Amino acid sequence: MSKHRMGGQTLHLTQNPPKIVSRASIVGKKEGEGPLAEYFDRVLEDDLWGEESWERAERRMFIEAAELALRKAKKEPWDINYLFGGDLLDQIVSATFSARSLGIPFYGLYGACSSMTQTMSLAAPLIDGGYADNVLCVTSSHFCSAERQFRYPLEMGVQRPPTAQWTVTGAGGVLLSSCGEGPYITHVTTGKVIDFGLKDTNYMGAAMAPAAADTIKAHFEDTGRGPNDYDLIVTGDLAKYGRTLTIDLLKREGYDIEDRFIDCGCEIFHESQDVHAGASGCACSAVVLAGYLLKKMEDGLINRILIASTGALHSIITSQQGDSIPGIAHAVAIEKKG
């Protein structure tokens, strides 16, 4: 077995674990009215941000989050070996068009809303192994660009069922480096695509929960760790119902995570903000990690977390053709002292 594997799906980064040396988060107006507002670097006054389309506004947020993460670390684009980016739009055009502006060697990823931890999962071993010094990881989503692509034109005013989730408008980024100060990525657990046969695109938390449970379980089995080894276990955007399902699925496997388990999709909006089950989108776990969680780590309030962004991997055409919704979750363990 290769030397940095723990068996199963987990890497243990011990050579030169990447440090998260800077972080940036930008969110839309609604997110700026939520409970985490104070943690975000920037809140837009309106979701079009002076651009001609929502897609261009999303792209501008992506670029801004990337540049802000660089500025905070006093780095220039040419200091960065790779940009890993992803988003929800067809052909991930937010990430690719942003990469064009940034001019950094680019790998585009698609893991739906699991993209944030996917970027970090791929970047981390490159730094640990001495293949990169600085890797920028950024993802974005936009409520309006996602709604019109995946669901209905907003102008139709289609009613949303209680299990529906609200795509976060925002972009979040972290800069991983071989040197500098910041919490470390110590473990990477790569997800499998899991599908329990659910088909309701307005109930994606349920479709993703089995993948979240599967990856968290794999992480515990591979590392010999359990819930008590983490101050916080975090998922990306399972929202209210998906979160409960994940707790139940893991209880069946003998792991009780309930007292230290949060889902970014449940944290970013107030109940009163009428988002139904909670939030979703590539930006959901990206901005909650970059804005809120890493700040809590900086402040010493939490020291070790496991975060698994979660993605629903369907498309319009697979749903139209009667396919169910596969899910995936990639987990990274982050701790304050290496």
Where along the sequence are the contacts to its own copies (CB under 8 A)?
A: 1-5, 9, 11, 52-53, 55-56, 81-82, 86, 89-93, 96-97, 99-100, 103-112, 118, 121-122, 125-133, 149, 178, 190-195, 313-318, 321, 323, 326, 328
Closer residue to its own copies in complex, CB, 191/265: 191
Distance of alpha carbon 203 from alpha carbon 242, whole angstroms:
9
Residue whose tokens read 């479709």:
207
Torsion sign over Cα 139, 21, 338, 126: positive
Closer residue to its own copies in complex, CB, 11/268: 11
Distance of alpha carbon 214 from alpha carbon 222, whole angstroms:
12
From 20, 24, 261, select the one nearest 123 (Cα to Cα): 20
Q: From the CB of 82, what's the least distance to its own copies, in Å?
A: 6
Distance of alpha carbon 139 from alpha carbon 285, whole angstroms:
9
Closer residue to its own copies in complex, CB, 38/76: 76
Closer residue to its own copies in complex, CB, 156/193: 193
Distance of alpha carbon 121 from alpha carbon 188, whole angstroms:
6
Q: From the CB of 142, what's the least distance to its own copies, in Å?
A: 12
Q: From the CB of 139, what's the least distance to its own copies, in Å?
A: 13
Q: From the CB of 266, what's the least distance to its own copies, in Å?
A: 24
Closer residue to its own copies in complex, CB, 71/192: 192
Closer residue to its own copies in complex, CB, 299/317: 317
**Tokens representing residue 154 in the block:** 């907003």
The CA dihedral of 247, 141, 135, 25, to the nearest 10 degrees, is: -90
Distance of alpha carbon 280 from alpha carbon 205, whole angstroms:
9
**CA end-to-end span of the chain, whole Å?**
24
Q: From the CB of 273, what's the least distance to its own copies, in Å?
A: 27
Amino acid at position 312, single letter: A
Q: From the CB of 105, what's the least distance to its own copies, in Å?
A: 4
Count Cα atoms within 13 angstroms, Cβ side, for 316.
10
